[in-house]
Amino acid sequence: MSRSIAVGLGLMEFPFSGAESYWRWIDLCESGGIDSMWQTDRVISREPILECMTTMAALAGRTRRLKFGFNVVSMALRDPVLLAKQCATVDVLSEGRLLPGFGIGSPLAPEWKVLHQDTGSRGRKTDEGLEIVRRLWSEDSVDFEGAHFHLTGASISPKPVQPDFPMWIGGSSDAAIRRTARFGTGWQAGRETPEEVAPVIASIQAAVAEEGRTIDEDHYGAAFPFRFGRVDDPGVERMMEAYRKRTGQDPMRQFVIGDATTIMGRLTEFVDAGASKFILRPAARDDEDMFVQTRRLIEEVLPLVSTRWPRPNQKSGAV
C-alpha cells in the first residue's frame, strides 16, 4: 500500500481541570508520536469548549512537531478575509503545520438559533467564503462580487508558507462532495461509518476528475471516539447520551470501546474503505482519564499502526 496512515487526536469538549493539565496532555501527544491535534469549532456552548482559531495559535507556540487543525470550521459563521488571514498567520508562525478544515456546520448546532442565522443559506455562504479564502492565499489582489460577500482589491500578507496550503472539506451530502471536488485538497469524514465512507470517497474521486483536478489518495480522513474499557465504565453513558442529543444518531454506531484490537479493527475497516488520516477522540471524563486513554493509544495502538502500515522511509515497527 502506498498510502501513509496517520493517527491524530481530536477534542470537542474541554475535559481538563485547567490549562496546566491540557498542556501536559499536548506535551504527551507531541512526545508520544501522535500525528496531529484537532479542535472542533463551536462558539456557543454551556459545556467548556475551546475556540478553534485561538487554540491553533496557542498550539503553534507550544509545539514543534505536531500538526494541528480545526475539524471543521463553520465557514458560514466566519468572515472569510479574517479567517484567511488567521490561517496564514498561524501557518507562518508554526512553520507550515496548520491543517485547516472547512464545512457548512451542523444545522443542529446552537449558533444558528442563538445568533439568528439562516441555516438555509449556509451552503452558498460557505462556497463563496471558500473561494475568497483560496484566492487570498495565492493572489495579491482579490475582487469578488457574490450574494453574501463583496471585495475590492483585498490582499493578505504574509501568505501561508505551505506551497499547496491544505483545504480539507467536511460533509458527505451531494453538495459537500461537489464542494470538495471544487475546492478541497482533502476530505474529512465526520460521523460516517466505514460502510458510509467508501461510497463518499468514490463519489468525490469521480467529481474531482470531472473538475479536471486531483486529490491525493492519502488525503481522505475518518474520525471516531474511542475508549479502552467497557460501555458501562463510569461516565461513558453520559458521553454517549450527549452524543445522541447532539447528533440525533445512535452512539453505538460511532463509539469504539474495547481494547487495542478493537480500535485497530475499526481503523482497518476505514483503511479498507479508502481513508488514511484519522482523528480519534478520547471518550474520557477528566484529567486522569484523558492521560490513561491517550497513553494506552500511544503505547498499544500506534506501534500496531506503524507495523501494519509503515510509512515511506520508515522502518517497520517505528512510531
Single pTM value for the model: 0.93
Least confident of 16-25, 71-80, 274-283, 288-297: 71-80
Over the range 80-116, which residues count as b (16 or more CB within 10 Å of their CB) and which as e? bbebbbbbbbbbbebeebbbbbbbbbbeebebbeeee
Q: Considering the domain boundaries, does residue 121 fall inside one? A: yes
Q: How would residue 313 be classed by pLDDT, with cut points 50, 70 and 90?
A: low
User: Is 224 contained in some domain?
Assistant: yes
Report whether pLDDT(319) > 50.
no
Residue 85 lies in a domain: yes
Q: What is the pLDDT of residues 141-166, one digit of tens each?
A: 999 999 999 999 999 999 999 988 99
Does residue 118 lie within any of the structural domains? yes
By residue range, what is the domain housing residue 95?
6-308
C-alpha cell at 203: 463519489
In this structure, is residue 288 part of a structural domain?
Answer: yes
* Average pLDDT value for the chain: 93
Alpha-carbon distance 11 to 38, whole Å? 6
Quote the Cα angle for 302-4-312, to 5°.
Answer: 95
Q: How does pLDDT run across 210-250, given as a tens digit for each residue?
A: 999 999 999 999 999 999 999 999 888 988 998 888 888 88
- pLDDT given at position 316: 34
Domains: count for the chain: 1
Q: 215 lies in a domain?
A: yes
Mean predicted confidence (pLDDT) in 240-268: 92
**Residue 316 located in a structural domain:** no
SS3 298: helix
First to last CA, the chain: 18
Cα–Cα distance, 203 to 141 (Å, whole number)? 34
CATH label of the domain that carries residue 228? 3.20.20.30
Whether 289 is in a domain gets the answer: yes
Do the strands 150-154 and 142-145 form a parallel or antiparallel pair, or are they unpaired? Answer: antiparallel
Q: What is the average per-residue pLDDT within 288-305?
A: 98
* Element containing residue 87 per DSSP (H, E): helix 80-93
Q: How many CB atoms lie under 10 A from the CB of residue 286? A: 12
Cα 284 to Cα 287: distance, rounded to the nearest angstrom: 8
In this predicted structure, the answer to whether residue 318 has a pLDDT above a threshold of 60 is no
100-140 pLDDT tens trace? 999 998 888 899 899 998 888 999 999 999 999 999 999 99
